[in-house]
Structure 1
Amino acid sequence: MDELMNHIANLLGAVALIFWGTYMVKSGMLRTFGMSLRTALSHGLDNRFKGFAAGFCLSSLLQSSTAATLLVAGLQSEGLVNTLIAISCIFGAELGSAFVATVLSLNLAVIAPILILIGVVMFFHYTPSKRQGQFGRIVMGLAFIMVAINQIVVSTEPLRSSADLAPFFLLLHDYLILSFIAGMLLAIGCVSSLAAVIVSSSLYAAQVLDYETAIWMVLGANAGSTVLALSTTMFASSVGRRGPYATSFFRALIIALALFVLSVGLPNSIKLPDNVVLFHLSFNALVGLLGLLFIKPLSALIEHCLPNIQTDPTIYSDNKKLFVQENFLSVGISLSVAKKNLIKEIEGIRLLWGDVDTLLRLNPNPGDVMLMRNKAAELVRLNRSLSLFLNRAVTPSLSSYEAIQWQNMKSVNGSLKSAVNLIDHTIEVINEGKCLKHLDFSPEGLRELRESHQIVLSSIETLHAYLSSTDAKEKKELTEKLLAHQKRLLTAAREQTHLHLLRIANDDVNAIETDALHLEIQSLFNRVAGLICASVNLELERV
């Protein structure tokens, strides 16, 4: 009994080592090449076959169809790939995962010690924050997988003669659905179908399971992979879920059809690969081929079921989607998502600043003012969510360049928070000092305030262009432009204050009624412009 428990412990330990090895390869690849893979996927994929090939290569590199699916879902959420390309990529990813399982099932344990030695030297010599260090992590992960697979083969051989486990394996043989469930649970537990396929293959090779029971277990592993695709993308946007949901629906149909074929005994008249791992590869190749044939009606169906719901660009309440799993696949991807949301926040500030002009010109009813202030509250929520997102994106493996990027965005986001609060205060001041009292600025005073307002608006638009730009020369020009806006505003403020005081001296009724308010608004405008300019200065200090 003790010997049996020892073999089972070795088997479970080997399964855990496969999980750890695949995680090391996946995380190492994403940290090293995450943004490069993302960029490559979002360009040049103009037909289903290129998408399929890209998904195959991506999954082969990441050792995980689940990670590949998350990456594709993120691209589709951002509109960088269409539904047809996303579906073809995920079909290719599933075949790529099966191909990797086939390659790793070969007896490669003999080279594992050499790979571990190379990986350890690279990891500690170059440090994990550098690309070479992460590549060492990838090499070690591959070696661990090879060692684990060899350990599974060794550990399953003694199970054949175990009288204690015989009833359990007999149960799997008599009730094939239990074998299917076991394969599915193992794939879900390891977040990969690789371990379940290798275990079922080893049990068949050791004659613990017969061929039919083993392939039911493999089909369960494929079902587990399908469940993972659904569960890991369930919180993505409706567009981002299209690819994973369409492929999962199609794969579920094919798996159900395969189970029916096995149940009625048709395999006796069909030539199937005698190797369980080859069956896994052949099954995924068949699913991919059929998927490509039916991809157009499948795309149309899923687009009908998951329509793209257009939302008001000024509404930011659905910030939970910021924290979906595909946004944390690598630090580079997280920073890219954070920057896009930072630009989205600035666009919201621009729209909110447009409301200030409405208050200067008109005296809207309290309900309209309340909606304006609600926009400010939504922007504050987005700002807070982005701050939490950036905190979560930090990992110990942050490179020096990524650390600078992170600090830049964190600082800019903090400056924008102060700007939003100040604009909200400006709306409150104008509403209480003018709108609720049904007062109006003098024509000259209104023209001057709107001129200052336009300068601040130009500053916000320049900041938007600055953060959207990737060209160093253009960013330098935009920085100079932003500083020029601030100087222009200060000069205009001095001139306008002088003119305003002259109007008061000439007993201009409107100017007298809004005397203190006019000067306070001018001061608030200057402070908002200062915060907008500070956003760029904070970034430049750390470049």
Structure 2
Amino acid sequence: MSGSLVLLHLAGAVALLLFATRQVRTGVERAYGDVLRLKLRSILKNPLLAVGAGAALAICLQSATAVALIVGSFAGSGIVGGTAGLLAVLGADVGSSLVVKLLSFDLEVLTPICLVAGTVLFMATSRRDLLQLGRILIGIGLLILSLRLIGEASEPLRESSILPVVVNYLSGDPVTAFLIAAIMTWLFHSSVAAILLVVALAARGLVPAELGVVLVLGANIGGGIIAVVLSRAAPRKARTVPLGNLIMRGAGALLALTAFILVDPPLDLLGATVPEQLVNAHIAFNLALVALGMPLAGLVYRLAERLTEINAPASEDDLATAEISALSEAALDSPAQALANATREVVRVCETVEVMLANIMELYAQADADKIKALAALDDRVDRKHAAIKLYLAKVTSRSLTEQEALRCQELIGACVKLEQVGDIIVRNMLVHVAKKMERGLEFTPEGWRELTGFHASVLANASLAFNVLVSRDPATARQLVEEKDRLRDVEKIASRSHFARLREGTVKSLETSTIHLDTIRDLKQINSLLASIAYPVLEEHGLLKGSRLAAG
């Protein structure tokens, strides 16, 4: 086989590895992302638990980068402390290294099982949770398959006359090898994929242990660069945790590289084979970072804060909150353009409502007067935009419109009214429950809190579907949204029965929080119904709605 064909096969196997990793991460985020984020918010308030939580989330998402971006956004919005957030990301690096360890075992028997089970779930059901579970299983199956393909594709390289020259050169120049690994990891956008590739090549005898350790250290610093690059457009405070993680990982990797070059430690202590030595070296490095990070995290976070302030303009916060209205008066004589402008503005209302809905449960967990005021201020913004959009669309309707344009105009007005109602429910109902819970010092039972957060996560996921339908007008997504409404109705019945069962048992916390619990479920159900109704115009247009029920199909 020619060298170019070998490299093509190897590139294809690596591409499958990257695709499979993303499939698993996407499935977990879509199925359980909201619940994981909600739980992560409360756990991160404890710096010691933050490390374990970060590791667990990285294992679920198969990406320390994703955890760094999530935690960075939490720290940026003040939901968690910066030091605890940095510790969580260090824990995520440990979790990512454990994923590499798990995938280094012989798991080939799982490939057909995961692919068959995942395909059956993905093809045979319309339930979102089962669809995403199918996606996760397919991703795992392809991930394991890609590792075997990498090994097979790299087998002909044993006979290559060029590879020994390259390996010898990199072995004699660890700094260059280190930089190449960092760049390769950044290009892959996955430290897991980069290190698995190195381990797979080492298993074929193509990468010696000493060079492999250098490449692993380079991949670690490359993994830190990914989150910094991806968060470069985020607000300054949200960039601080990823930058702090890069400082910690970068300094640690450079120190470890220097020590490795000077000391030449015995790698036999890390395992009997080269792949074992590389995987265990990766885990040991990240565990050492956590041990050092516990006392130094606060100092590193403050350093990262200083660095992010250097290039940040003094008016950054003002710029972050500045808004330019899309409701251009000049476009009124062109209805198509005017409706596109109105759609842009309604989408902004969707984003504001989504922020309100996403953050309300955090206030249930830990009420804060400043955050309550901030949430109420967002409702004022929704009201202002709602009034402006209605006035603008009223001006549009005074022009000559086609039937389709008139229907779209009514659809946007209806969506805007529903969004304003959702904001009112959050502020006028749910914030009242928050205040009552805070004043009385009440606590939900663990079972009750799980019911509330699970119900809220489903409503938040449906909100994303509703906002997508508003823009894409996709009938399949619209149908899924209304089906989710029916499913949530059943979930509400189950939650109510469980709550009343706890009341009959005389659970004190259930008695104290009964009204708040039931009213919150009711409010969330009403919000979900309003959001689901955004799909009705699309379903009616495609003949998928009969009265108040979905048409068979």
Question: Could you tell me which amino acid in structure 1 is paired with residue 380 of structure 2?
Answer: E
Question: Could you tell me which amino acid in structure 1 is paired with residue 15 of structure 2?
Answer: A
Work out whether residues 179 and 214 of structure 1, in 8 Å CA contact, stay in contact via their aligned partners in 2. no
Structure 1 residue 126: deviation in Å?
1.4
What is residue 354 of structure 2 aligned with on the other side?
336
Structure 1 residue 263: deviation in Å?
2.4
What is residue 235 of structure 1 aligned with on the other side?
233
CA distance in 2, matches of 1:536, 1:336: 11
Work out whether residues 18 and 144 of structure 1, in 8 Å CA contact, stay in contact via their aligned partners in 2. yes
Structure 1 residue 407: deviation in Å?
5.9
Structure 1 residue 283: deviation in Å?
1.0
CA distance in 1, matches of 2:384, 2:461: 35
Change in CA separation of 1:261 and 1:120 when aligned onto 2, cut-off 3 Å: same
Question: Could you tell me which amino acid in structure 1 is paired with residue 90 of structure 2?
Answer: F
CA distance in 2, matches of 1:537, 1:56: 36
3-state SS of paired residue (1:42): helix
Instruction: Provide the aligned C-alpha RMSD in A.
Output: 4.0
1:347 aligns with 2:380: yes
Q: Which runs of no fewer than 5 residues in structure 2 stay unpaired?
A: 325-349, 359-373, 387-415, 420-459, 474-517, 538-547, 549-553
Residues 272-421 of structure 1: pairs in structure 2 closer than 5 A: 272-273=270-271, 275-306=277-308, 316-317=321-322, 336-337=354-355, 346-348=379-381, 402-404=464-466
CA distance in 2, matches of 1:315, 1:287: 34
Structure 1 residue 403: deviation in Å?
3.2
3-state SS of paired residue (1:234): coil
What is residue 173 of structure 1 aligned with on the other side?
171
Change in CA separation of 1:306 and 1:313 when aligned onto 2, cut-off 3 Å: closer
CA distance in 2, matches of 1:101, 1:32: 23
Work out whether residues 55 and 92 of structure 2, in 8 Å CA contact, stay in contact via their aligned partners in 1. yes
1:246 aligns with 2:279: no
3-state SS of paired residue (2:236): coil
1:22 aligns with 2:21: yes
**Which of 194, 208, 211 is residue 209 of structure 2 equivalent to?**
211
Change in CA separation of 1:172 and 1:351 when aligned onto 2, cut-off 3 Å: same
Residues 52-67 of structure 1: pairs in structure 2 closer than 5 A: 52-67=51-66
Work out whether residues 28 and 134 of structure 1, in 8 Å CA contact, stay in contact via their aligned partners in 2. yes
CA distance in 2, matches of 1:125, 1:13: 29
Structure 1 residue 399: deviation in Å?
7.4
CA distance in 1, matches of 2:526, 2:140: 48
Residues 427-438 of structure 1: pairs in structure 2 closer than 5 A: none
CA distance in 2, matches of 1:269, 1:102: 17
Change in CA separation of 1:65 and 1:541 when aligned onto 2, cut-off 3 Å: same
Q: After superposition, give the CA deviation of every residue in 1:495-522 in whole Å (9 maximum; x if it has no partner).
A: xxxxxxxxxxxxxxxxxxxxxxxxxxxx
Question: Could you tell me which amino acid in structure 2 is paired with residue 276 of structure 1?
Answer: L
Structure 1 residue 218: deviation in Å?
0.9
Structure 1 residue 179: deviation in Å?
2.0
3-state SS of paired residue (2:238): coil
Structure 1 residue 170: deviation in Å?
2.6
CA distance in 2, matches of 1:8, 1:170: 19
Change in CA separation of 1:475 and 1:221 when aligned onto 2, cut-off 3 Å: closer
Work out whether residues 41 and 54 of structure 1, in 8 Å CA contact, stay in contact via their aligned partners in 2. yes
Residues 431-470 of structure 1: pairs in structure 2 closer than 5 A: none
CA distance in 1, matches of 2:99, 2:351: 25
Work out whether residues 34 and 333 of structure 1, in 8 Å CA contact, stay in contact via their aligned partners in 2. no
CA distance in 2, matches of 1:107, 1:477: 50
Question: Could you tell me which amino acid in structure 2 is paired with residue 337 of structure 1?
Answer: V
Q: After superposition, give the CA deviation of every residue in 1:271-301 in whole Å (9 maximum; x if it has no partner).
A: 5555211111111111122112322322343
Structure 1 residue 220: deviation in Å?
1.3
Structure 1 residue 88: deviation in Å?
1.0
Work out whether residues 29 and 61 of structure 1, in 8 Å CA contact, stay in contact via their aligned partners in 2. yes
Work out whether residues 29 and 62 of structure 1, in 8 Å CA contact, stay in contact via their aligned partners in 2. yes
Structure 1 residue 345: deviation in Å?
5.4
Structure 1 residue 203: deviation in Å?
2.6
Return 72-81 or 111-120, whichever deviates more.
Answer: 72-81
**Which of 163, 187, 190 is residue 189 of structure 1 equivalent to?**
187
CA distance in 1, matches of 2:217, 2:89: 18
Question: Could you tell me which amino acid in structure 2 is paired with residue 471 of structure 1?
Answer: T
Work out whether residues 335 and 405 of structure 1, in 8 Å CA contact, stay in contact via their aligned partners in 2. no
Question: Could you tell me which amino acid in structure 1 is paired with residue 465 of structure 2?
Answer: A
3-state SS of paired residue (1:106): coil
What is residue 471 of structure 1 aligned with on the other side?
520
Structure 1 residue 313: deviation in Å?
7.7
Structure 1 residue 335: deviation in Å?
7.2
Work out whether residues 183 and 217 of structure 1, in 8 Å CA contact, stay in contact via their aligned partners in 2. yes
3-state SS of paired residue (1:20): helix
CA distance in 2, matches of 1:174, 1:180: 12
Structure 1 residue 229: deviation in Å?
1.6
Structure 1 residue 230: deviation in Å?
0.9
What is residue 103 of structure 1 aligned with on the other side?
102
Q: After superposition, give the CA deviation of every residue in 1:393-429 in whole Å (9 maximum; x if it has no partner).
A: xxxxx97664336568999xxxxxxxxxxxxxxxxxx
CA distance in 2, matches of 1:306, 1:96: 27
Change in CA separation of 1:477 and 1:182 when aligned onto 2, cut-off 3 Å: closer
Structure 1 residue 7: deviation in Å?
3.1
Q: After superposition, give the CA deviation of every residue in 1:127-151 in whole Å (9 maximum; x if it has no partner).
A: 4x61101110001101111011122
Structure 1 residue 27: deviation in Å?
0.7
CA distance in 1, matches of 2:231, 2:519: 30
1:51 aligns with 2:50: yes
3-state SS of paired residue (1:43): helix
What is residue 33 of structure 2 aligned with on the other side?
34
CA distance in 2, matches of 1:296, 1:403: 39
What is residue 425 of structure 1 aligned with on the other side?
none
Q: After superposition, give the CA deviation of every residue in 1:337-375 in whole Å (9 maximum; x if it has no partner).
A: 38679975543477999xxxxxxxxxxxxxxxxxxxxxx
Q: Which runs of no fewer than 5 residues in structure 1 stay unpaired?
A: 320-331, 354-382, 387-397, 412-468, 479-534
Change in CA separation of 1:252 and 1:318 when aligned onto 2, cut-off 3 Å: farther
Q: After superposition, give the CA deviation of every residue in 1:125-184 in whole Å (9 maximum; x if it has no partner).
A: 114x61101110001101111011122223333322212433222322232233223322
Larger gyration radius, structure 1 or structure 2: 1
Question: Could you tell me which amino acid in structure 1 is paired with residue 322 of structure 2?
Answer: S
CA distance in 1, matches of 2:535, 2:157: 64
Q: After superposition, give the CA deviation of every residue in 1:180-218 in whole Å (9 maximum; x if it has no partner).
A: 233222212221112221222233232222211111111
Q: After superposition, give the CA deviation of every residue in 1:5-38 in whole Å (9 maximum; x if it has no partner).
A: 4433222211111100000001111111111111
TM-score (norm 1): 0.60
What is residue 75 of structure 2 aligned with on the other side?
76
Return 187-196 or 82-91, whichever deviates more.
Answer: 187-196
What is residue 125 of structure 1 aligned with on the other side?
124
Change in CA separation of 1:470 and 1:181 when aligned onto 2, cut-off 3 Å: farther
3-state SS of paired residue (1:296): helix
Work out whether residues 32 and 134 of structure 1, in 8 Å CA contact, stay in contact via their aligned partners in 2. yes
Change in CA separation of 1:221 and 1:539 when aligned onto 2, cut-off 3 Å: same
Structure 1 residue 247: deviation in Å?
1.4
